[in-house]
Amino acid sequence: MLEIQGIAVSPGVAIGQALILDREGYRITRCQIAPADRKTELQRLEQAIEAAADRMDTHREQSAISLGADVGAIFSAHVQLLRDPRLRVEWRQLIQEECFSAEYAVSTVLNRYAHAFRSMGSPIMAERAGDIRDIERVLLESLGGHPLDVSNTGAQPGILASHDLTPSETANLDRRLILGFCTEIGGPSGHTAIVARGLEIPAVVGLGPFLQKISGGSDIIVDGYRGRIILEPDEPTRVRYLERRVDRQCRAERLNTLRDLPATTRDDVRIRLLANIEFPHEVEACLARGAEGVGLYRTEFLYLSSETEPSEQEHYEAYSEVMKAFSGRPVVMRTLDLGADKMGQRPLAEQEHNPFLGLCSIRLSLRNPALFRTQLRAMMRASIEGDLRIMFPMITTLHELRTARMLLRQVSEDLQEDGFNIAGQIQVGMMVEVPAAVLMLEHFVREVDFISLGTNDLTQYTLAVDRSNEYVADLYTAVDPAVLRLIKTTVDVAAQYQVDLSVCGEMSSTPAYALLLVGFGVRTLSAPPAAIPQLKQALRSVTVDDCQFMAKRAMELETAREVDAFLNGHFATLLPDMALGV
């Protein structure tokens, strides 16, 4: 049994067998065979070794001709290794004595060798580990393996283990087949993490190199609460986690009884709880959790989950589904926030050195007016189905806001000329997620109907910390005093100019932080649907005075660590049961 600590990004406990999506993307699902099948399995192994050796021999010949004998010799070494009698003995033993499949035997033994070479600390030995990986890939292919299609891993549900997962790969995971996932890289607030929360898939990222320690079919527990994985858990650990999972389910069911009650504090101050969604199908989860509307619809995920650019009709159908489900309650649709870590199959921008500071979000939309118009047309057409509000992401300058609004006006006129009905009043707002927007807020608020604080990016851009980078994850926190000052300024300016404000960054889904926001004067929070019940429970248990005390004290502290310790500590005194997870 081995425990590895990473970064918790999506709560929940998942227990199952590993489906490895390594850099080559091969998967091994079957690990055990019936004793009667051992002979056939040994034959499969022998045939695969011969087929792999033939392929490598062909590579050797071809590369010797085109690149010279030295390069060809690399493949000779591969063939030698592949035919190494010690390897063969170990593979055969696992099949013969322990009834493992040939794939599992190959992967387990080669993983062990690759790991041993890598841990010798010498670059030459690390290269040797790379050779072993290569042999594994060719052998698995010869055994009939296919690259793992993350959207459909076959019939067996399991835990996806991979080096990385992009937001669009995550968006395409089949919830019924992927019980949880764990990755070597990734940070606390990247979009992969956000999508995992949206899909309610337990996930841990930023674990560092661990793939070489497991094989396809290994037992794994993903603890999405504490941010760790347990490889090959022993029985008592497994039982403990099974019990913990049941406890959490019971707790979630108890919280569901609050669904139709308002999020009103003990001193009768009404807080609105809206939901963040990425896909139309999440409306079900929103309604089940008692969301009062949608505070952030990340519409770019329609783009990320399809092979081709969605048509106006496809956009329209998705938007209309969400609008209808919320029948008259507010739905804030954010226009495409593509780029940075959210690249589609067909990237709209060239590879950039600093994608988070590059051509992304509203900048990308304004540079691609045809694409932007398509989306705006679809949104406006859906506006007659309810209370649609349109929001522009990552607004940094007034010029961007004005250009985006002008395009929206043009689209509205075009639609009317084309004979479409659109709602008479559509509120238009912007995300406040770069420090420049906070500093210029007095000017922005005169030109919008509402603002939404995007604390994920505000944290990233204020602290100069990449939100999806595990190396700087310890610096990434929305309760850093510098970020808190920007949040407080935003809330104060919105109050002064009487502009509607909500907070839709992930910060609002942590109950202790949500109370701080209420203490600053925030009255609308938008969070992933799964976070809503516990937010409601926390809000209904405190007074605004309690929250103001937390806000005042937090602003007196000097470091993020102190703020976090104070907020969690005070939260535990206000709500001991919740802090203990009862």
Q: In the complex, which residues of this chain contact ligand PEP (CB under 6 A)?
A: 194, 296, 298, 337, 433, 454-457, 504-505
How many angstroms separate the CA atoms of 579 and 325, rounded? 34
Cβ closer to ligand PEP: 223 or 337? 337
Q: Which residue has the tokens 């497994």?
A: 238
Q: Which does 6 bind (CB under 5 to 8 A by kind): Mg ion, ligand PEP, none?
A: none
Task: Give the nearest distance from C-beta 433 to Mg ion in angstroms.
Answer: 5
Using CB atoms, what's the residue nearest to ligand PEP?
454
Q: Which does 390 bind (CB under 5 to 8 A by kind): Mg ion, ligand PEP, none?
A: none
CB neighbourhood size of 247 (10 A) = 13
The answer to whether residues 150 and 169 touch, using CB atoms and an 8 Å cutoff, is: yes
CA angle 369, 373, 376 (to 5 degrees): 140
Q: Which spans of this chain sit near Mg ion (rule: CB under 5 A)?
A: 433, 454, 457
Q: Which does 194 bind (CB under 5 to 8 A by kind): ligand PEP, Mg ion, none?
A: ligand PEP
Largest CA distance in the chain: 82
The answer to whether residues 391 and 335 touch, using CB atoms and an 8 Å cutoff, is: yes
Task: Give the nearest distance from C-beta 196 to Mg ion in angstroms.
Answer: 17
Task: Give the nearest distance from C-beta 351 to ligand PEP in angstroms.
Answer: 20
Cβ closer to Mg ion: 411 or 432? 432
Cβ closer to ligand PEP: 289 or 298? 298
Task: Give the nearest distance from C-beta 535 to Mg ion in angstroms.
Answer: 20
* Candidate list 286, 360, 504, 547, residue with the active-site label: 504
Cβ closer to Mg ion: 11 or 454? 454
Cβ closer to ligand PEP: 145 or 505? 505
Task: Give the nearest distance from C-beta 454 to ligand PEP in angstroms.
Answer: 3
The answer to whether residues 14 and 179 touch, using CB atoms and an 8 Å cutoff, is: yes
How many angstroms separate the CA atoms of 126 and 118, rounded? 5
Q: Which does 504 bind (CB under 5 to 8 A by kind): Mg ion, ligand PEP, none?
A: ligand PEP
Q: Which does 505 bind (CB under 5 to 8 A by kind): ligand PEP, Mg ion, none?
A: ligand PEP
To 10 degrees, what angle do helices 312-325 and 369-382 make? 30
Q: Which does 455 bind (CB under 5 to 8 A by kind): Mg ion, ligand PEP, none?
A: ligand PEP
Task: Give the nearest distance from C-beta 458 to ligand PEP in angstroms.
Answer: 7
DSSP of 151-191: T---SS-EEEEES---HHHHHT--TTTEEEEEESS--TTSH
* Candidate list 191, 286, 547, 570, residue with the active-site label: 191
Residue 315 annotated in active site: no
Residue 191 annotated in active site: yes
DSSP 309: P
How many angstroms separate the CA atoms of 74 and 184, rounded? 29
Going from the C-alpha of 391 to that of each of 43, 77, 361, 406, the distances in angstroms are: 62, 59, 12, 14
How many angstroms separate the CA atoms of 358 and 376, rounded? 23
Cβ closer to ligand PEP: 78 or 467? 467
For 65, the token pair is: 């001709």
Q: Which residues are identified as catalytic?
A: 191, 504
